[in-house]
Chain A
Amino acid sequence: MIRADRPAATGRLYLLAWSLLLVALAATGVVLLALFSVAMVLTAIWIGLPIAVMLTPLIRSLADTCRRVLGQFLDEGPIPSPYSPLPQGTFPARIRAVFTDPGTWRDMAWLLFNGTVGAVVALMPAVLVGHAVYQTLYATVLWRVVPDLYGLPVENQTEAFVALVPAVIELALFWRATPALLRLYARMSRWLLAPTEKARLHARVEHLATSRADTIDAQASEVRRIERDLHDGAQARLVALGMSLGMAEELLSQDPDTARRLLTEAREATRQALDELRDLVRGIHPPVLVERGLDGAVRALAVSQQLPIDVDIDLPGRAPDPVESAAYFAVAEVLTNAVKHSGAGRAWVRITHVAGRLMILVGDDGRGGAEESGGSGLRGIRRRLDSFDGTMNIVSPAGGPTIVTMELPCALSSPKTWPSSATG
């Protein structure tokens, strides 16, 4: 993006500016490295430890800045950060975290590299331009003052113009080589800045452990809720129903009127039990999801909302059941928020499958300001998506619109042949 959207000349100047900035960052890094080394020496008398712990966030934020900047030259996102998070806890815990994190030591190696080889590579464009400018000045003005070009005597203007030859070559070289140089610099830095495979796997395992624990917690409390609902609801009503029927049976011959009243009560209790079971089932796995899949279920959901909702779903097959369910509940929750809190006049849902991921976009034209911390609903969605390695991103500036993007990695099964419907 740094190169593509600018005309070539300003693009090169832009790169020149970046390379100078990188050199400045490298110089800062050298200072930090020196301070850190001093701190290491001072650990002998303990005082070095707090200094090292204080320097670490500075070094990390410098490295992270470089990760973001260099990511641009590599045409990929920012280089990922390799650190385990620093604990907020006691001082010894923080010391341990700093010194046991391999990221800390790789940063030192990077600072050393960046202050030497890296800085030279990053400085090259500036050196080329700088020298070319000097040669040009020499060819026009300076030869009169210093009539000596690298050992060759310069006696008149014509001879002085020879100095332009290297200037032109240098400028051409600058023009041709700068993007490649910066890419080279970025690649070399990435080697030390990016997490090692081991660190990446470590972070991944940690994430999976957390999300698994969250998932298990959420499921356990869900099961408890279902148990409680059945126990206090349908089960209790069936007991009452049985009692009414038993009493009606007893009274049938002596007091038919009371018996009839009890039967009516029994019928009402059955209806209420069914209502409760229906709500419960809808919360566990909506029947329409079984009958129509994600596509039909989201359309059914949209039809039943109080807002007009524009639905655009393009799925060549069915996602696995658990993914469909997670996606459905996520869409339902976001739409509920839109209806309840956003004051929106309309909303839209787009679902596609791109590059092995289910992409879900839910937006509304309401007043915005939706926040994950605002309610347990959105946090619940994130947890649900997390257990499928899914992600959620909320963009909701004050004044709107709100757009929630969700992604779920999954494969689609081959399309089922649905019985054709007259209404399509």
Chain B
Amino acid sequence: MRVVIAEDLALLRDGLIRLLEAHEFTVVAAVESGPQLRDALVEHRPDVAVVDVRLPPTFTDEGLQAAIEARGQVPGLPILVLSQHVEQLYARELLSDDRGAVGYLLKDRVFDVGQFLDAVRRVAEGGTAMDPAVISQLLAKHGDEGPMASLTPREQEVLGEMAEGRSNSAIAGRLFITEKAVSKHINNIFTKLDLPPSGDDSRRVRAVLAWLNNN
């Protein structure tokens, strides 16, 4: 899989390159600024890009802006955004084109190599990878009011896992239940939140995220 990396700190950039190359990814470009990232994304059209939010020369959210812009030019270009902090606003902006193939994770998530690589692959395949911090904030926002309150604790757990972008089998593995139980929970969630049923994993995740964002 061909990857573009954008990270301005050499230490982290080298770490990411080493990590990804050790797991059969090919890093086609590793850049360190916003303008370079814009060029690299359009030139290489990678299978997935791993992008730091804050990049030179402005040290503002240049990486995020470059990513959103590139997705405007190349719709659905898979991008995984990494940051030292998570903002609901950024997550919302990344998800707003409703094409999937986006991820937004805290840099700490790289520590868990297996899960991080899983997230990179998921995004490359058109799925979603949202940081647990984003999801837990979204869930907390709904608190114990509205339709969210009608979900059982187990269903809320499943909803959280699903919103992060995991597939049924991954959820089943993490919660130690069968895939069949997972899909039953998911059907209940969709009924209770009044969402149209969908067989497509990634479309389903987007529907849930849109619901959480807008309600």
Contacts and interface: CB of A to CB of B under 8 A. Distances in A.
A274 B133 CA distance: 13
A274 B64 CA distance: 21
B93 A421 contact: yes
Interface centre among A274, A291, A300, A303 (most CB of B within 10 A): A291
Contacts of B87: 288, 300, 303-304
Interface string B40-71: 00000000000001100001111011101101
Given A290-B59, A304-B137, A420-B69, A267 B84 contact: no
A189 to B, nearest CB: 55
A271 B89 contact: no
A296 B69 contact: no
A271 B108 contact: yes
Contacts of A420: 65, 69
Contacts of B71: 422
A300 B61 CA distance: 13
A287 B85 contact: yes
Given A271-B108, A419-B65, A291 B60 contact: yes
B98 to A, nearest CB: 11
A422 B72 contact: yes
A267 B71 CA distance: 34
A422 B108 contact: no
A345 to B, nearest CB: 11
B141 A306 contact: yes
B83 to A, nearest CB: 8
A423 B85 contact: no
Size category of the A interface is 20 to 34
Given A422-B69, A422-B71, A423-B93, A288 B85 contact: yes
Interface centre among B68, B72, B85, B140 (most CB of A within 10 A): B85
Nearest to B96: A423
Interface residues of B, number: 33
Contacts of A300: 87-90
Contacts of B141: 304-306
Nearest to B59: A290
Interface in A298-350: 299-300, 303-306
Interface string A259-300: 000000001001100110010011000111011100010011
Given A274-B108, A419-B65, A419-B69, A288 B89 contact: yes
Interface string A124-142: 0000000000000000000
B58 to A, nearest CB: 8
A303 B92 contact: yes
Contact of B68 (A278, A288, A421): A421
Interface in B67-114: 68-69, 71-72, 84-85, 87-90, 92-93, 96-97, 106-108, 111-112
Given A291-B60, A292-B60, A422-B97, A306 B69 contact: no
Given A287-B54, A288-B89, A291-B61, A271 B69 contact: no
A257 B84 CA distance: 32
A346 B59 CA distance: 34
B196 interface: no
B100 to A, nearest CB: 15
B61 A292 contact: yes
Interface in A182-214: none
Interface in A381-424: 418-423
Interface string B136-154: 0100110100000000000
Contact of B84 (A287, A305, A422): A287
Interface string B7-45: 000000000000000000000000000100000000000
B89 A306 contact: no
B63 to A, nearest CB: 10
B55 to A, nearest CB: 10
B68 A422 contact: yes
A306 B141 CA distance: 5
B89 A296 contact: yes
Contacts of B137: 304
A419 B72 contact: no
Contacts of A278: 84-85
Contacts of A274: 106-108
A226 to B, nearest CB: 17
Contacts of A296: 89
Contacts of A303: 87-89, 92
Contacts of B108: 270-271, 274-275
A423 B96 CA distance: 7
Contacts of B106: 274
Interface in A343-379: none
26 contacts: A267-B111, A274-B107, A274-B108, A275-B108, A281-B85, A282-B85, A286-B85, A287-B54, A288-B85, A290-B54, A291-B60, A291-B61, A300-B89, A303-B88, A304-B88, A304-B137, A304-B141, A305-B141, A418-B65, A420-B65, A420-B69, A422-B68, A422-B71, A422-B96, A423-B93, A423-B96
Interface of B: 34, 53-54, 59-62, 64-66, 68-69, 71-72, 84-85, 87-90, 92-93, 96-97, 106-108, 111-112, 137, 140-141, 143
Given A275-B108, A291-B61, 7 more contacts: A274-B106, A278-B84, A288-B87, A299-B89, A303-B92, A306-B140, A306-B143
Instruction: Give the top 6 A-B pairs by smallest Cβ distance, nearest first.
Output: A291-B61, A300-B89, A419-B65, A303-B88, A422-B68, A291-B60
